[in-house]
Structure 1
């Protein structure tokens, strides 16, 4: 303590100084909290704008769409990425199965349509041959069997059977 001639003055200034120092300390703490809050806000803004997960070095390790983006192990039999020890070429494997199956379905459909056309043509030819045979028989042979010389009880029917 200071001993000055007016001891009352020193005693009165100590509580005022303590109160003033306390207010200054509270203001400093508030300013420090605001500064920390602004700094954290600026840091988060920087992270949001400039440190996206896609730009990180190890993003390929935890990429949720990695399987969607990944290329197949082998595209064709001549794929340069597949060496001798890649174990990507197996006997009996058919990479063109989808296109081959599509071509085979189209080919079978074409064969089926041709078979239908051939059957319809054969049936039409058979019907035409029957029609011509019936017409020829009617024009040629029927008048011969139905002449007045023949007995009227005998006649050849169109179906080819004799009726008495």
Structure 2
């Protein structure tokens, strides 16, 4: 008697939403072919419930072929793989790089404390964010059209340019 065991032909990780900090997020393992078991790996380490309870910032659970983050956080960033096994062997998914979207946080404007009339001044805005954010500068009124886009604004010091410079940033979520 000859027993033929069909090999797993494909394992893929599927997502249906964007991973946003503090929102629920799910990775789904799609397997083509018969499998006996699925397990998840993060950064080449086997994920299990012990990992979830060891780090109070990581909150996930595994059910069937899904990895649920409740919620997903920046500490969850990393490379994920789904591994399906049967008697013919194991088959790994391509690596999925999880980058959790967040921010902008710690927004800062830097520039000179003083400037002489007629000189050129540059102000720089920075923020912690994933993905990178778009910067828009406003002069005296944040409801008016922006005067400049980008993290740096440069202008000549004149009476007309004296006022309140403010930035508005938004992530590309």
The TM-score, its normalising length taken from structure 2, stands at 0.19
Higher strand share: 2
Q: Work out which of the two has the higher radius of gyration on C-alpha atoms and give 1 or 2.
A: 1
Higher helix share: 1
The TM-score, its normalising length taken from structure 1, stands at 0.20
Greater RCO between the two (CA within 8 Å, min separation 6)?
2
